[in-house]
């Protein structure tokens, strides 16, 4: 793992050098998502790097939607992305759309044609692929490569006017069909696509390709450092070619960093969309998804995500981080923020036979022992309570310190109780315990008369609020799924989806929690941290998502 301090990161070193040498007076970065899906935690790395570095040097960051592919893009995604960036705590200098620059991109393409640096090609997509050659063989020139400037200008104009079908013609940069870098073998820079665009409607029926559009967008915005992931490394020469040949005033520098992944999940939007569309999850914000919205609904805080991303570091290498590391950061964050409370997931009724019938007393309990400023709460106690079914055994093994016939335990914040008897139903299941309590042992009174080994959590029965607890297991049953390409063996990542990744249980919570609001977070004694689910919680039933259990073996 890398140093948690961003001062050790290589991008920062480059920026610092550029400011010191006077190459740039101000740092300008951009976060450029394509609005074709929701943001995931990999994007959070890009956000933290782009916004974080600009902030550190008093610079600016634009949020720019890279919307050059009308078929896959949608306003829903634009809105969701804006919400997620803001939620993570970042403010963009200005909100841009690549589509706002379509006219200028067109003009730059015309400039390339006039300079003899671009031509209209009639080859089909398959033919272009065939002519491109391979890593070991040079490509072949298209028969249309030497069209005159006049003919190219005329054809490109007619492409724009809609005279040609999708795929009938493309505009290609005229670079070098024998370049060892395949990206430079006359890349396609414009294609015909008769599609309605979410921003420009039907104004255009030709659209620029990413490799042409992106450097122009960066240059128009005066981006100084264009930070992207390492799969674009081979495209850097093309990026520089476009900036130079299109005679852009400003010259952004592309710098690549490694993609962030997580074990036991998939990350690319294409795969995440499949999970949503085919109903494996209940939306982009399903708590099992590695999306920002999924993590938010599960109960992650922005602080925990940002701290995790910073700890992973800004290396060139990419790899799947361990989920345990992400969990470490939410535990750290919630430890001081989340109120403690008690919830019973699999309830077993206990009648305290020597407690006065009809009496309810209020007991004092601290809200968060790690944060005394949060004060105290009042919990009701009476003759009937619920405990966890697993906290009783009729015939326990050695070292079982919870309830069994004749044994005494402590009830958290309350009294010692002793198991005297139990009732079974016709099938032999224990359905009720009969216990006695000792009034002398009340919590907080300093009782030292005798010791017990077990402490149980519980909920008073008459005021208990029914609740649903949703526990989550990994979504994908293969640690390195994002990078494994098993599709060759006739399998896809969908074959590795964990069908048992959602576990739903019914139980009770303390009566004083009935007013909990969606997204409120709590630490349930022994069960870990939970978030009130915003989608399934109703007036009548609170639904809790388990964010993370209490224990971890993870060490930073």
> Is 33 an interacting residue with respect to ligand ATP (CB under 6 A)?
yes
> Is 30 an interacting residue with respect to ligand ATP (CB under 6 A)?
no
Tell me how far, at minimum, the Cβ of 137 lies from Mg ion, in Å.
29
> Is 88 an interacting residue with respect to ligand ATP (CB under 6 A)?
no
For the record, the structure tokens of 78 come out as 């634009």
Choose which of 269, 310, 383, 457 interacts with ligand ATP (CB under 6 A). Answer: 269
Query: What is d(CA 536, CA 395) in angstroms, rounded to the nearest whole number?
Result: 39
Query: Facing residues of 432 across strands?
Result: 349, 423
Sole residue written with tokens 């949703």: 470
Choose which of 28, 29, 32, 529 interacts with ligand ATP (CB under 6 A). Answer: 32
84 vs 408 by CB, closer to ligand ATP:
84
> Is 45 an interacting residue with respect to ligand ATP (CB under 6 A)?
yes
Query: Facing residues of 386 across strands?
Result: 349, 459
Dihedral sign from CA coordinates of 428, 431, 436, 442: positive
From the list 83, 61, 151, 140, the residue with the least C-alpha distance to 114 is: 151
Name the CA dihedral angle for 48, 51, 55, 56, rounded to a multiple of 10 degrees: 40
**Taking a C-beta distance cutoff of 8 angstroms, is the pair 123, 93 a contact?**
no
For the record, the structure tokens of 245 come out as 């040949």
Choose which of 2, 34, 366, 520 interacts with ligand ATP (CB under 6 A). Answer: 34
- Binder of residue 268, out of Mg ion, ligand ATP, none (CB less than 5 to 8 A by kind): ligand ATP
**Which range, of 42-50, 87-95, 182-190, 197-205, touches ligand ATP by CB under 6 A?**
42-50
Choose which of 11, 15, 27, 42 interacts with ligand ATP (CB under 6 A). Answer: 42
Tell me how far, at minimum, the Cβ of 215 lies from ligand ATP, in Å.
13
Give me the residues that bind Mg ion (CB under 5 A), please. Answer: 34
The DSSP annotation for 1-31 comes to ---SSGGG-HHHHHHHHHHHTTS-SS-EEEE
Backbone φ and ψ for 83, nearest 5 degrees, come out as -60, -45
**Taking a C-beta distance cutoff of 8 angstroms, is the pair 532, 467 a contact?**
no
> Is 230 an interacting residue with respect to ligand ATP (CB under 6 A)?
no
Choose which of 173, 216, 267, 334 interacts with ligand ATP (CB under 6 A). Answer: 267
Tell me how far, at minimum, the Cβ of 482 lies from ligand ATP, in Å.
8
Expressed in angstroms, the distance from the first to the final Cα of the chain is: 9
H helix intervals, 102-187:
102-114, 125-132, 149-161
Query: What is d(CA 72, CA 524) in angstroms, rounded to the nearest whole number?
Result: 42
Fill in the per-residue mask, 110 to 139: x = in contact with ligand ATP (CB under 6 A), - = not in contact.
------------------------------
H helix intervals, 227-290:
236-245, 269-277
304 vs 341 by CB, closer to ligand ATP:
304
81 by Cβ neighbours in 10 Å (0-12 / 13-18 / 19+) ranks as: buried
Tell me how far, at minimum, the Cβ of 30 lies from ligand ATP, in Å.
9
Query: Facing residues of 409 across strands?
Result: 417
Residues serving a catalytic function are 34, 259, 269
- Binder of residue 498, out of Mg ion, ligand ATP, none (CB less than 5 to 8 A by kind): none
Q: How many chain residues touch ligand ATP (CB under 6 A)? A: 15
66 vs 186 by CB, closer to ligand ATP:
66
- Sequence-distant (6+) residues with CB within 8 A of 124 are 167
Tell me how far, at minimum, the Cβ of 439 lies from ligand ATP, in Å.
59
For the record, the structure tokens of 159 come out as 């492409």
Tell me how far, at minimum, the Cβ of 73 lies from Mg ion, in Å.
11
**Which range, of 27-35, 362-370, 441-449, 504-512, touches ligand ATP by CB under 6 A?**
27-35
Tell me how far, at minimum, the Cβ of 472 lies from ligand ATP, in Å.
21
228 vs 461 by CB, closer to ligand ATP:
228
> Is 268 an interacting residue with respect to ligand ATP (CB under 6 A)?
yes
Query: What is d(CA 344, CA 364) in angstroms, rounded to the nearest whole number?
Result: 19
Tell me how far, at minimum, the Cβ of 306 lies from Mg ion, in Å.
23
Choose which of 15, 243, 260, 461 interacts with ligand ATP (CB under 6 A). Answer: 260
**Site of interaction with ligand ATP (CB under 6 A):** 32-34, 42-43, 45-46, 66, 228-229, 259-260, 267-269
């Amino acid at each position: 793992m890398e140093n948690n301090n961003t001062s050790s990161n290589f991008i920062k070193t480059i920026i610092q050098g550029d400011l010191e040498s006077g190459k740039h007076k101000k740092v300008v970065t951009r976060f450029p998502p394509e609005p074709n899906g929701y943001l995931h935690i990999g994007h959070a790395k890009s956000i933290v790097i782009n916004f974080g570095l600009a902030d550190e040097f008093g610079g600016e960051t634009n949020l720019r939607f890279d919307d050059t592919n009308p078929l896959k893009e949608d306003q829903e995604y634009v809105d969701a992305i804006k919400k997620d960036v803001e939620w993570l705590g970042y403010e963009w200098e200005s909100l841009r759309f690549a589509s706002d620059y379509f006219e200028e991109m067109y003009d730059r393409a015309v400039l390339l044609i006039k300079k003899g640096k671009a031509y209209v090609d009639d080859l089909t997509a398959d033919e272009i692929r065939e002519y491109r050659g391979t890593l070991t063989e040079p490509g072949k020139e298209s028969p249309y490569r030497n069209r005159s400037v006049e003919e190219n200008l005329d054809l490109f104009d007619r492409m724009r006017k809609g005279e040609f079908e999708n795929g009938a013609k493309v505009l290609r940069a005229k670079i070098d069909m024998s370049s060892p870098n395949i990206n430079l073998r006359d890349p396609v820079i414009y294609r015909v696509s008769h599609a309605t665009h979410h921003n420009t409607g039907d104004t255009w029926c030709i659209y620029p390709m990413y490799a042409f559009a992106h450097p122009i967008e960066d240059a128009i915005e005066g981006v100084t450092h264009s930070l992207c992931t390492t799969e674009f490394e081979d495209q850097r020469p093309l990026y520089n070619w476009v900036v130079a040949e299109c005679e852009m005033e400003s010259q952004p520098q592309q710098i690549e960093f490694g993609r962030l992944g997580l074990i036991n999940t998939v990350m690319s939007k294409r795969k995440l969309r499949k999970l949503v569309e085919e109903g494996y999850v209940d939306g982009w914000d399903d708590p099992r998804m590695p999306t920002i919205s999924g993590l938010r609904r599960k109960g992650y805080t922005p602080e925990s995500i940002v701290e995790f991303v910073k700890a992973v570091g800004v290396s060139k290498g990419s790899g799947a981080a361990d989920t345990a590391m992400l969990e470490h950061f939410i535990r750290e964050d919630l430890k001081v923020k989340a109120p403690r409370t008690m919830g019973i997931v699999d309830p077993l009724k206990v009648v305290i036979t020597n407690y006065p019938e009809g009496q309810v007393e209020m007991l004092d309990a601290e809200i968060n022992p790690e944060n005394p400023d949060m004060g105290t709460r009042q919990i009701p106690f009476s003759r009937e309570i619920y405990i966890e079914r697993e906290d009783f055994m009729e015939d326990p093994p050695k070292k079982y310190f919870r309830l069994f016939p004749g044994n005494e335990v402590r009830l958290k914040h309350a009294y010692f109780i002793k198991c005297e008897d139990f009732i079974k139903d016709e099938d032999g299941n224990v359905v009720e315990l009969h216990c006695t309590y000792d009034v002398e042992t009340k919590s907080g009174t300093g009782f030292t008369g005798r010791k017990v080994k077990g402490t149980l959590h519980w909920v008073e029965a008459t005021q208990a609020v029914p609740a649903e607890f949703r526990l989550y297991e990994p979504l994908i049953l293969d640690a390195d799924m994002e990078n494994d390409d098993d599709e060759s063996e006739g399998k896809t990542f969908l074959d590795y989806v964990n069908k048992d990744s959602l576990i739903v249980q019914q139980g009770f919570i303390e009566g004083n929690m009935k007013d909990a609001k969606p997204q409120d977070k709590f630490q349930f004694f022994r069960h870990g941290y939970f978030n009130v689910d915003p989608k399934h919680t109703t007036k009548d039933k609170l639904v809790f998502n388990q964010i993370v259990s209490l224990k971890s073996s993870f060490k930073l």
